[in-house]
Chain A
Amino acid sequence: MIEVSTDWYLTLAAVLFSIGFIGMMIRKNALIMFMCIELMLNSVNLTFITASKHFGTIEGQISVFFVLVVAAAEVVVGLAIIVSIFKKQSSASVDLLRTSRG
């Protein structure tokens, strides 16, 4: 009888983080890159909750709330930046973005 242990969840989190990182590297649309950041943040959340279950403490789940709020704030600011970029150059591709150079 195979039992679902902590390793399985951690492996899933590692795979999810890698997929998010690969997407961050290969896509050029700023919106898609934001979704990949969400994937990576969610894999970290999964790790926190797995640790919370493994060690029998509630602190892991509390940390998830803080990650969640920071993610929401980051999405709000990031999407506002994307909209204002789109107004300027009518494309959300990050490669065409040369104006933020110092």
Chain B
Amino acid sequence: MLEIFLFAVPAGLVILGALIVIFAKNPVHNSMGLVLTLSSLAIIYITLNATFVAMVQMLVYAGAVMTLFLFVIMMIGVDKPEQSKEEIKGQTLLVSGTLLILIGIISYVIISSGFKWDLYFSPVEYSLEGTPDLIASTLFTEWILPFEIISILLIVATTAAIALAYDTKTRKHK
């Protein structure tokens, strides 16, 4: 019973937060909905034995990324309300077509497998705890090359952000 409770409550909060993200009008409310989704996902990660990932989720996503979002919202101010006028011809038709195709594919996969997605691969008996110890010993031995490439990606992204946000006009006036 506790297991179902620990799944259902965070799952409901995840869906609620996601709906707030796509339907709220004020960008600050949207980002708060995203915080709700990310925190509830962290709870779900803990129930899936991924404790270290849950902690990183709280620190990086709910902490750093959301702070960045809020900074930008405060910087550019709350935008004008969106107009629902069609700017590109046939936009609504294309969007509804794509949505129907996506929903169709997902429902087909769900129904054709009879709601049993782990039919062919039975779950393992033991449970694996995602501790920092285990993650580090795998990440820094087998996965060391992707790890180094990721560091290059981060440096490039930081440089690009500085180059984009740097205002050359105000620099010349000084």
**Count the B residues whose beta carbon is within 8 Å of the partner chain — how many?**
77
Complex CA distance for A23 and B14, rounded to whole angstroms: 15
A27-B82, A31-B73, A52-B128 given; A36·B68 CB < 8 A: no
Per-residue CB contact flags for chain B residues 5-37 toward chain A (1 = under 8 Å, else 0) read 001000100110011011000010011001001
Q: What's the A-B contact tally at a CB cutoff of 8 Å? A: 209
Which chain B residue lies CB-closest to A7? Answer: B117
Q: Which residues of B contact A2 (CB under 8 A)?
A: 4
Q: Which residues of A contact B34 (CB under 8 A)?
A: 35, 38-39
Complex CA distance for A20 and B65, rounded to whole angstroms: 17
In A49-102, the 8 Å CB interface with B consists of 49-50, 52-59, 61-62, 64-66, 68-77, 79-84, 86-87, 91-93, 95-96
The main secondary structure of chain A at its interface with chain B is helix
* CB of B80 closer than 8 Å to a CB of A: yes
In A1-59, the 8 Å CB interface with B consists of 2-12, 14-16, 18-23, 25-29, 31-32, 34-36, 38-39, 42, 45-46, 49-50, 52-59
| A82 & B7 in contact (Cβ 8 Å cutoff) | no
Per-residue CB contact flags for chain B residues 134-170 toward chain A (1 = under 8 Å, else 0) read 1100110001001000100110111011001101000
Which chain A residue lies CB-closest to B1? Answer: A1
